[in-house]
Amino acid sequence: MRKPAGVQTAPLVESVRSGDPRAIARAISALEDHEPGAEGIVQELFPFTGNALLVGLTGAPGTGKSSLANRLAGHYRVQGKRVGVIAVDPTSPFTGGALLGDRIRMQQHATDDGIYIRSMATRGVLGGLARATGDAALVLDAAGKDVILIETVGVGQDEVDIVRVADVTVLLLVAGLGDDVQSFKAGVMEIADIFVINKADRGDTDRLENELKVVLGLSRRTDGWLPPVVKTVATEGLGVPELAQGVEEYWVHVQRAGLRDEKRVQRWQERLVELIRERALERVLKSGVGKEQLAGYARQIARRERDPYSVVEELLRAAGVAE
Amino acid sequence: MRKPAGVQTAPLVESVRSGDPRAIARAISALEDHEPGAEGIVQELFPFTGNALLVGLTGAPGTGKSSLANRLAGHYRVQGKRVGVIAVDPTSPFTGGALLGDRIRMQQHATDDGIYIRSMATRGVLGGLARATGDAALVLDAAGKDVILIETVGVGQDEVDIVRVADVTVLLLVAGLGDDVQSFKAGVMEIADIFVINKADRGDTDRLENELKVVLGLSRRTDGWLPPVVKTVATEGLGVPELAQGVEEYWVHVQRAGLRDEKRVQRWQERLVELIRERALERVLKSGVGKEQLAGYARQIARRERDPYSVVEELLRAAGVAE
């Protein structure tokens, strides 16, 4: 593309395309850490992406997303598909590393070349987790993965952003909290293409299923899809083939309805906005103020010597971003 | 402050300061909807803020935050304190309105002038919910509220951002999901100053409490505070005085340790970054491209005719935000 390849970009891009796990890891780290020239990797790999199916898995803590992602990955492996797993933990803004559980999972699959598992966590105040997740998915896509599972903890806006990278979104619920459906109704329900009631061997699964079906029956999706409810016991692998089938059926529906491109354009529009936000902030911080000066302004504001909006106005002007 | 008051800013600011609920509602809406000149409201009110205690309540869906916020608000009212409640629902990106439950709550308190309840939800792709919540808290602060409760659904990065506005953060858990503590350990645990186990009359509360205390005993906070674990049954009001006492004790600890200003400076620094991010995006979208052109670029990217990073680079350059 238009950016000249850095010294190391070209060989790295070649190795990623051949599926080399170390090259994949290196490329994702460079993008996650925002190393100079890292964008060149995406630019070079980009023409070779768009082939993988991106499946997002989300749900509250404790719903068993990791177990289910593991089982689903195994299911696809048996079918001969190459699988990438991106485990995102936006609740981890301070640790910045992989969770113990994910490290254990990586060891389990360490001998299987057809699967690649990667953990990501928020790093620092600049955010950009959704962007980094999207970039990681592009790397795995260019590396020839057929299916990429994106697994994320929680049900807030950040998870919605992360899951929006996916082609198919699976929402996990567990019976027992009682008012799940009530709580979810407002927005997260609307992003889910498939519902999973996990841990279906315990709790009042039938009641939750009925509640869900009532709510789903009331909602109207513009794409004409009625999200199925799949019951699983992820720890035992029960219901996993049915989930994979649901994913397949949804994607067939999307393609038959001619909505595949429209959905992907919509997602790219959202990602562009996120990218602009992130890059513009970087530039302002770079040209306007260092982090130390930012602390000085924050001190003035905390003392009520200045108000936040006039400070921001001043910083934007200094960076050349005038109104 | 430096920005001249708009035609309506000055009287609105006066009415807000006198505690007029309709003026408060008007000011928060103007800030939430980002009306022209709305920043002037914050600028004018800002010198009169910094007096309220901001208490954040967060936890997964179904943990009973609304009930607890209601009870805690009632507790403070009995003590003669003026209370504001901001109910944030970041899981509601599409509905953009108040939830039914919050509307009902507002009616319950409609006859009490000492309490003001406000719901907020994400609106559109531009985000800014944490910023809008922070602005709403400033309005309520300037309106003379002694305590402002900020209640938010979920446990993701966005909720962490929202809760960071608060002086004191309360994390709600409910026994029953089994592996809550394990799931939360990575990051959300670290933002909580006080833990509440709600619905303590059911589930294996004792086990959860013990697990929590083990985890808390292992962690080291730099401020020397050991977060207490308070058991509540919010629907019955049980444990609410103990929670209020925990909040009080934490805030006394912060002030005695001389950390109040440091914590507020830190929070303002984070809010400045968020403000810059939001404003810079606005300016780029305003000067560089309209929303329709953005869709055109997204289409080119989805077709792999262009890569996302070169598009963003072009847009930033067009807006004068050069590298």
- Looking at the structure, do residues B284 and B143 belong to the same domain, yes or no? no
B43 touches chain A (CB under 8 A): yes
- Looking at the structure, do residues B57 and B174 belong to the same domain, yes or no? yes
Residue A114 lies in a domain: yes
**B156/A158 Cβ within 8 A:** yes
What is the reported pLDDT for B309? 87
Average of per-residue pLDDT across A218-247: 91
- Looking at the structure, do residues B112 and B164 belong to the same domain, yes or no? yes
* Residue B36 to residue B288: CA distance in whole angstroms: 20
Domain boundary among A206, A232, A256: A256
B318 touches chain A (CB under 8 A): no
What is the reported pLDDT for B319? 73
Report chain B residues whose CB lies below 8 A from the CB of A279.
312-313, 316, 321
**Residue B52 pLDDT class (50, 70, 90 cuts):** very high
What is the reported pLDDT for B111? 56
Report chain A residues whose CB lies below 8 A from the CB of B154.
154-156, 159
Report chain B residues whose CB lies below 8 A from the CB of A284.
276, 280, 321
What is the reported pLDDT for A62? 76
Instruction: Write the CB contacts of B87 (distance below 8 Å, at least 6 apart in sequence).
Output: B66, B69, B98, B99, B102, B105, B117, B118, B119, B120, B151, B152
What's the mean per-residue pLDDT of chain B? Answer: 80
- Looking at the structure, do residues B190 and B301 belong to the same domain, yes or no? no
Q: Domain containing B312: what range?
A: 272-318
User: Of A180-189, B17-26, B98-107, where does mean pLDDT reach its minimum?
Assistant: B98-107
- Looking at the structure, do residues A300 and A207 belong to the same domain, yes or no? no
* Residue A90 to residue B159: CA distance in whole angstroms: 10
| Res B39 pLDDT > 80 | yes
What is the reported pLDDT for A237? 92
Q: Do residues B166 and B159 touch, judged by C-beta distance below 8 A?
A: no
| Res B275 pLDDT > 90 | no
Report chain A residues whose CB lies below 8 A from the CB of B304.
46-47, 49-50
| Res B108 pLDDT > 60 | no
User: Of A1-10, B27-36, B50-59, where does mean pLDDT reach its minimum?
Assistant: A1-10
Residue B71 lies in a domain: yes
* Residue A136 to residue A140: CA distance in whole angstroms: 6
- Looking at the structure, do residues A198 and A109 belong to the same domain, yes or no? yes
| Res B217 pLDDT > 70 | yes
- Looking at the structure, do residues B52 and B173 belong to the same domain, yes or no? yes
Instruction: Tell me the range of A130-139, B139-148, B258-267 where mean pLDDT is highest.
Output: B139-148
Residue of B nearest to A65 (CA): B183
What is the reported pLDDT for B287? 67
Average of per-residue pLDDT across B18-40: 89
- Looking at the structure, do residues A76 and A191 belong to the same domain, yes or no? yes
Helix, strand, coil shares, percent, chain B, to 5: 55, 15, 35
**Smallest Cα–Cα separation from A230: which of A52, A53, A54, A57?**
A57
**Smallest Cα–Cα separation from B121: which of B156, B167, B160, B152?**
B152
What's the mean per-residue pLDDT of chain A? Answer: 80
| Res A94 pLDDT > 90 | no
Edge-to-edge strands of the sheet including A147-153? Answer: A115-121, A83-89, A147-153, A53-59, A168-174, A194-198, A229-231
What is the reported pLDDT for A139? 96
* Residue B156 to residue A88: CA distance in whole angstroms: 11
Give the A:B interface size as CB pairs under 8 Å: 295
What is the reported pLDDT for A69? 93
Average of per-residue pLDDT across A144-158: 79
Residue B314 lies in a domain: yes
More confident site: B142 or B221: B142
More confident site: A157 or A149: A149
| Res A61 pLDDT > 90 | no
- Looking at the structure, do residues B194 and B310 belong to the same domain, yes or no? no
- % chain A with pLDDT above 90: 34
Residue B162 lies in a domain: yes
**Domain of residue B241, CATH code:** 3.40.50.300
What one-character DSSP code corresponds to residue A52? S
**Residue B6 pLDDT class (50, 70, 90 cuts):** very low
What is the reported pLDDT for A269? 86
More confident site: A268 or A286: A268
More confident site: B52 or A94: B52
Residue B109 lies in a domain: yes
**Residue A129 pLDDT class (50, 70, 90 cuts):** confident
- Looking at the structure, do residues B140 and B185 belong to the same domain, yes or no? yes
Q: How far is B293 from chain A (nearest CA, A)?
A: 10
**Residue B175 pLDDT class (50, 70, 90 cuts):** confident
B 207-236: CB under 8 A from A = none
Residue A94 lies in a domain: yes
Q: What is the pTM of this model?
A: 0.67
What is the reported pLDDT for B270? 83
Q: How many domains does chain B have?
A: 2
Residue A207 lies in a domain: yes
Average of per-residue pLDDT across B58-62: 78
Residue A40 lies in a domain: no
- Looking at the structure, do residues B165 and B199 belong to the same domain, yes or no? yes
Domain boundary among B256, B280, B301: B256
Residue of A nearest to B134 (CA): A308
- Looking at the structure, do residues B239 and B201 belong to the same domain, yes or no? yes
Burial B16-41 (b: 16+ CB within 10 A, else e): bbebbbebbebbbebbbebeeebbbb
Domain boundary among B206, B221, B256: B256
**Residue A228 pLDDT class (50, 70, 90 cuts):** very high
